[in-house]
Amino acid sequence: MHKSAPHIVLFATLLLSSSLWPQQNNSGAGEARAIFRSGDPQRARIALKKLWEEDEGNAAAAYYLGILYETAGDWGEAAEWFEEAAGVAPENALYHRKLGSVLSRQALSANILRQFFLIRSAKNALKTAVALAPDSLAYRMDLLNLYAQTPTVWGGSKSKALLQAEEIARRNPLDGFKARARVYVLREDFQTAEQVYREGINAYPGDPALYLLLEDLLVEQNRLAEALNVTTRGVEAVNRDKDLLFLEMGRLHIARGHYGLAMAALERAAGLNPTLFETYYLIGKAVSESDLPAHAGLKALETFLASEDGRDRLQRAWAYYRMGRIYQKNEQPAEAREAYRSCLALNPDHQQARSALANLANAANDPAP
């Protein structure tokens, strides 16, 4: 299991995003919303398309079709429906924002020539969204990301990205630090990004997101000791989200081979937030790589596998691999084999599990599976 990249999660939630529900007060919008909420995506698509065919002025029907296709990862189809919604209700900032978002994603897998036109269209849609809702920090953040990530020859601009950061700062100084640092991170000016994060921490020492973002930046540069200092300072300074800081502290201790310290930090995280299920995976990882008690790691991994996080196929595979490591170290080869096979059933390409299973077979003089 890979690090969860706090900056991705944090920037998804750091600014107040607009509601998923389009702001239309009419029966057509209500009917479209009810269909969308029915719980069956395939039937919802059919019903919403029928609703659209009956009333092409129903922007909400087109919008929810866009959401369904976006959720399925069909960016092209999603873009077509968001464009329909924005065409019917051009004053709705949310429709333009969603159009810009899926066009940006569609550009990632397009050929070079197609990328240019998709990015230009995405930029125009996001600029329209910001013009319609100038106080939306989330919309400005989307536009900032596009300007900062796009090559200059295709319309990207560091100065325009920083201008959006300034507008965010005018409305929310704390988020302004995060936005400005984000520009420098995307432009790979890590020294300036670090400086901005540290300025933000000095100005707002009680904000946990700043510590997590700085920690992530330092980890990306393999500056683990400094990252650990940041999380330690954060734990002492903040009154909320300490569980996330202890989680990162535990992860860093594992990376440095300090398993006892990792266990202490992760137990603090679990105590503060029992539903932070990645904590249990990391406890299992720490035990699998150390001489810590096997039962603690196995219990933690069982908790992880029973959780919402443990439903992901690849994450489940890693959890079973860690179980196998613990059983193998605990001289329980039969249980280790079963765990490694469970891992490979979920992810046949898991080379570590395949090698471990082959080694067990060789040790027992058994044929390899």
Task: Look at the alpha carbons of 42, 45, 47, 50 in this order and tell me if their dihedral is positive or negative.
Answer: negative
One domain, residues 204 and 59: no
Angle between helices 6-13 and 173-186 (to 10 degrees): 140
One domain, residues 114 and 164: no
Nearest to 284 by CA among 272, 273, 293, 271: 293
pLDDT (average), residues 362-369: 63
pLDDT (average), residues 240-246: 98
Residue 19 pLDDT greater than 70, yes or no: no
Of 106, 132, 158, the one marking the end of a domain is 132
List the domain range (segments joined by +) for residue 236: 1-11+138-240
pLDDT tens-digit readout, 120-168? 999 999 999 999 999 999 999 999 999 999 988 888 999 999 999 999 9
For position 24, what pLDDT does the model report? 47
Residue 215 lies in a domain: yes
Of 200, 224, 240, the one marking the end of a domain is 240
Residue 53 lies in a domain: yes
Of 240, 257, 274, the one marking the end of a domain is 240
pLDDT tens-digit readout, 267-326? 999 999 999 999 999 999 999 999 999 999 999 999 999 998 888 999 999 999 999 999
Residue 109 lies in a domain: yes
Residue 101 lies in a domain: yes
For position 361, what pLDDT does the model report? 86
pLDDT tens-digit readout, 73-99? 999 999 999 999 999 999 999 999 999
One domain, residues 7 and 142: yes
301-336 residues labelled b (16+ CB within 10 A) or e (exposed): bebbbebebbeeeebbbbbbbbbbbbbbbbebbebb
For the chain, what is the domain count? Answer: 2
One domain, residues 25 and 1: no
Q: Is residue 300 within 8 Å of residue 323, measured between CB atoms? A: no
For position 25, what pLDDT does the model report? 44
Q: For residue 123, how many other CB atoms are within 10 A of its CB?
A: 22
pLDDT (average), residues 214-226: 98
Residue 54 lies in a domain: yes
What CA–CA distance (Å, rounded) separates 355 from 174? Answer: 49
Residue 57 pLDDT greater than 90, yes or no: no
Task: Look at the alpha carbons of 307, 311, 314, 316 in this order and tell me if their dihedral is positive or negative.
Answer: positive
Residue 234 pLDDT greater than 90, yes or no: yes
Residue 213 lies in a domain: yes
For position 1, what pLDDT does the model report? 43
> Mean pLDDT across the chain, nearest whole number?
90
- Classify residue 286 by burial, with Cβ atoms within 10 Å: 0-12, 13-18, 19+: buried
- pLDDT over 70 percentage in the chain: 91
Task: Look at the alpha carbons of 155, 158, 161, 163 in this order and tell me if their dihedral is positive or negative.
Answer: negative
CATH number at residue 115: 1.25.40.10
One domain, residues 121 and 174: no
3-state secondary structure of 306: coil
One domain, residues 122 and 162: no
Residue 101 pLDDT greater than 90, yes or no: yes
Position with higher pLDDT, 109 vs 62: 62
One domain, residues 111 and 145: no
For position 153, what pLDDT does the model report? 85
One domain, residues 142 and 210: yes
Residue 91 lies in a domain: yes
One domain, residues 32 and 100: yes
One domain, residues 103 and 144: no
One domain, residues 127 and 23: yes
Position with higher pLDDT, 355 vs 56: 355
Nearest to 70 by CA among 23, 20, 115, 27: 20
pLDDT (average), residues 185-212: 98
Least confident piece of the model among 19-33, 70-84, 164-178, 252-266? 19-33
One domain, residues 118 and 183: no
Residue 202 lies in a domain: yes
